[in-house]
């Protein structure tokens, strides 16, 4: 092998290493619980005079905090292989827990008289989780992409800013690339996750 070919291979390896580091960083930074928490907080900012902040507490606790605790416990006990539950067969119990918690959280918000738009976000979250759970029998839907696409819909609803929404769309694409790059998902799985999140959250705002 010539020196030029060696340098070429080293360059390719270097690019792969950098790509892997960037992909892992994006996956860690945009974990679905973190992303959904941002979505709920954005809705609170939209309703500062309607006790939006107060209602955000049960919303995040039920839809985000409890499922994360369950995930960490299962991970510590070795029931799942990673904090991202990358194996499809590991995700059933996580979907079940997340679905039950999200439903309870949504019911609490409805009974407590939370702003309709916050209920819309909670309802869309329930439907996204349920659909991903059903599809999990055959397809490992990307929850990272679903959460990011959902929050993109929230950003558009709250800000009505094309620039902010396009930036979020770019982030969704980067997140999808990171999951594909790490071989955590196939391209169809990232697309399905994106469509589910974007469609449910957009539809929820139209209905509510």
Distances (CA, A) of 51 to 35, 67, 133: 22, 25, 32
Whether residue 158 lies inside any domain: the answer is yes
Whether residue 6 lies inside any domain: the answer is no
Whether residue 12 lies inside any domain: the answer is no
Tens-place pLDDT, residues 64-110: 888 888 888 888 888 887 777 778 888 888 899 889 989 998 998 89
pTM of the predicted model over 0.75:
yes
pLDDT, the chain, mean = 86
Which residue blocks in 47-115 are alpha helix, DSSP H? 52-60, 66-76, 91-111
Shortest CA distance to 112 belongs to which of 184, 52, 169? 52
Tens-place pLDDT, residues 131-155: 999 999 889 999 999 999 999 999 9
Whole-angstrom distance, CA of residue 90 vs CA of residue 7? 42
Number of folded domains in the chain?
1
Shortest CA distance to 180 belongs to which of 198, 194, 165? 194
Structural domain range at position 101: 25-207
Whether residue 19 lies inside any domain: the answer is no
Whether residue 17 lies inside any domain: the answer is no
The tokens describing 26, both together, are: 């994006």
Q: At what angle do helices 143-159 and 116-135 cross, to 10 degrees?
A: 160
């Amino acid at each position: 092998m010539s020196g030029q070919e060696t340098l070429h291979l080293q360059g390719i390896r270097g690019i792969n290493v950098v790509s892997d580091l960037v992909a892992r960083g994006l996956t860690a930074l945009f974990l679905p619980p973190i992303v959904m928490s941002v979505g709920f907080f954005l809705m609170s900012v939209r309703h500062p005079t309607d006790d939006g902040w107060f209602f955000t507490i049960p919303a995040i606790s039920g839809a985000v905090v409890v499922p994360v605790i369950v995930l960490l416990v299962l991970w510590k006990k070795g029931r799942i292989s990673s904090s991202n539950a990358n194996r499809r067969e590991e995700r059933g119990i996580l979907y079940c827990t997340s679905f039950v918690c999200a439903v309870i959280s949504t019911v609490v918000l409805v009974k407590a008289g939370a702003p309709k738009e916050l209920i819309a976000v909670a309802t869309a979250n329930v439907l996204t989780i349920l659909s991903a759970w059903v599809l999990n029998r055959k397809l490992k839907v990307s929850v990272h992409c679903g959460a990011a696409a959902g929050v993109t819909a929230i950003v558009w609803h709250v800000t009505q800013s094309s620039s902010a929404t396009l930036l979020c769309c770019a982030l969704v694409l980067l997140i999808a690339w990171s999951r594909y790059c790490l071989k955590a998902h196939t391209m169809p799985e990232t697309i399905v996750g994106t469509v589910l999140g974007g469609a449910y959250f957009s539809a929820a705002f139209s209905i509510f």
